[in-house]
A and B are shown apart, each in its own frame.
Chain A
Amino acid sequence: MTRADRILLVFVVCILPFLYARTWSPDEQARYVQIQAGDAEPIAAELSPDRILQVHGPLGDSVIEIKESQVRFLESPCTGQQCVHSGWLSAAGELAACLPNRISIQLLGQHPLFDAINF
C-alpha cells in the first residue's frame, strides 16, 4: 500500500457520507411543474387548481393532468406510451418525458415566478 493508495482510500471514505446525505435527504416539497415543449423556453405552471392541459408537440397534443399537487401524462400521441406509464409525479425533482413528442414535465420545488401568493 503506497502513500497515494492510503490518501485515496481516506478521501473516498470521507466523500461517501456526503453523497449519502445528498441523495438520501428528504424530498423537497414540489411547488410547481415545469413543462418543456421542444426548444421553447420552459413554462412553469402552478399545482393548485386541478386542471388538464394540452401541450402541442410535433406528433400532436400530449395531455397533462394536474391533480392534488401531482402531475402526469394522461394521454400522448407516441407509440411507446412510456410517458403515460411513468404515472404520477409527486416529489420535487421527478420527471417524465415524451421523447418522441419532445415534451417533458418535471416537478420542481422553488416557485420561479412568485415568492408568495396572496389571496
Chain B
Amino acid sequence: MNSRMLNSSTLITELSNSHGNTRDYTEKSLLRHLLFRVFLCASVAKIFVFIRLKQYLKPVGSGTNPLRKPPPLPAHLFIILLLSLAASACSQDHDDAFHDQFFAFGTLIDLTLYGVDPATARQASERIEQDFQDMHNSWHAWQASDLTRINEQLATRKTATADDSILSMIAEADRLSLQSNGLFNPVIGELIALWGFHDNPLPIGTLPDKDTLNRLVAQRPSADDITIEGNRISTRNPAVRYDLGAFAKGYAIDRAVERLRELGIGNAIVNAGGDLRAIGRHGDRPWRIGIRHPRQPGILASVEIEGDTSVFTSGDYERFFEVDGIRYHHIIDPRSGYPADRTASVTVIHGNAATADAAATALFVAGPDEWSSVASRMGIKYVMLIDTDGIIHMNPAMQARIRFEPETNAVIRLSEPLP
C-alpha cells in the first residue's frame, strides 16, 4: 500500500517502505514528548482532583465579593507547568547516534557511535582520525613510507627489516594470501603500478604494454616467496612488491575498532568508503546495513548485523577506466595479469575486517565458478557474488540472512552450504 510511484519513462525508484519502520527516527523525540505528556497529564489530574475536593471544602462564611481573588491552585501545580515548559524547551532534539565523517586513507571514513555522550564521541572521533592518518602514512604503497622502504630493500637485497606493527600486518596478509590460493596476492605491486592504479594513471585510452605485463606475470611474485623471521623479511623472488591496497583498509578498520574498545565504546560502526565493521548494536535493535547495487543506483539488499561483524564489498565500479568500451578495473587476477572479468561485485560478511577485505578480493578474482571453494578454504560463512550477467550467487546461510529490496528481480543461484 506504500508504493505510490508510477511512470516508466524517467529514472524511477519504486519507493516502498519494505522494512516498515520509518518511525525509528521519531523514537528519539518520543521520550521528550512522553515526558511532556506525563507532566501535562499530572497537571490536569491535579486540577481535576482539586476541583472535586473543592466541593467538600467550601470556605465558611465568605461573602461573594466579585472582586475577591478566587482561590488559588496549589503552587506546585504552577511549578510543574513551568518545569514541563522548560523541559520541552531545553531537551535536545538531536539524533541518538553520533556521526562523524573525515577523509583519511584516501577515502571518506564514516564513524557512527551509539550510546556515547557527545564530548567523548568527538574525542574518540579525533583519535580515530589521527590513527588513520598515521597508518596511511606508514603503509602507503607508493609514496615514501615504511612499506616503500621495505619494497626497495626486498628488491635490491632480498631482505628487509621492519618494526612489529607493519610486520604483523604483512604476516597476516601473507597468511591470507596462502589461504586463498594466491587469488588475493599482496605482492603484485609491480603489476598494479603497471595498470596505473596508483598515482600515475595511464594516459587515457591506453592499456599497459603487453610484453611488460606478460613478463611481470611470468615472474610469479607470491606470498609463498616470503619468509619472516623475527623482524626480518626475506624473499627468494626479488619481483615481489608489497601493495596492500586490497587489505590495508580492512586492517586499519580492525585497529580503529580496537581503539574504540580501548576508549570504552562498545557500539559503533567504522565505515571506510563503504566497507565497514560494526560492534555492538544500535540500542535495542541490530545495525541495519544497506548494500548498494553494483549496476543500478539505489539499494540492492540489506542485512542486519550485531556483535562484531564486518561487511565488505569488492566491486568493479570502484576504480576503473574504459578503453574501446571495455572496463578495466583495479582488481587484477594475478594469474592472467588482467582485471578479473567475470564478477561485478562480491559481498562478504565476516567477523574480522582484514580477513573480509582480503576475502572479498580473492572471491572476486575466483569468480562465479570457484568462489565457493575459496570461501570454504578461507573460512568465510556468508558470500554474495554478482557476476557480470547479473546473476546473484550465494550460499544458503547468506540467503537466509540477507533481505532484498522489493524491486529486485534478479536470478539467484544457491551454492552448496559453506562449511
Contact = CB atoms under 8 A, between A and B. Distances in A.
Q: Do chains A and B touch in the complex (CB under 8 A)?
A: yes
Interface of A: 11, 15, 18-19, 22, 28-29, 34-35, 37, 40-46, 48-49, 51-56, 61, 108-110, 112-119
Interface stretch (B41-49, B257-265, B271-279): B271-279
Main secondary structure of the interface of B (DSSP, over half): mixed
Contacts of B298: 46, 49
Interface of B: 1-2, 4-7, 10-13, 15-17, 19, 21-25, 28, 82, 86, 89-90, 92-95, 97, 99, 110, 112, 269, 271, 274-276, 278, 282, 287-292, 297-299, 302, 311-313, 315, 347
Nearest to A7: B82
B2 A40 contact: yes
Most chain A beta-carbon neighbours within 10 Å: one of B5, B271, B276, B291: B5
A19 B89 contact: yes
B25 A116 contact: no
B275 A118 contact: yes
Given A15-B89, A18-B90, A118-B275, A54 B289 contact: no
A43 B2 contact: yes
Contacts of B5: 53-56
Nearest to B110: A116
Contacts of A115: 97, 112, 269, 278, 282, 287-289
A52 B10 contact: yes
Most chain A beta-carbon neighbours within 10 Å: one of B21, B22, B23: B22
B297 A48 contact: yes
Contact of A119 (B10, B23, B288, B292): B292
B2 A118 contact: no
Nearest to A8: B82
B10 A118 contact: no
Contacts of A41: 1-2, 17, 22
A119 B297 contact: no
B11 A118 contact: no
B289 A118 contact: yes
B22 A114 contact: no
A52 B1 CA distance: 21
Contacts of B23: 112
Nearest to B78: A4
Most chain A beta-carbon neighbours within 10 Å: one of B4, B16, B89: B4
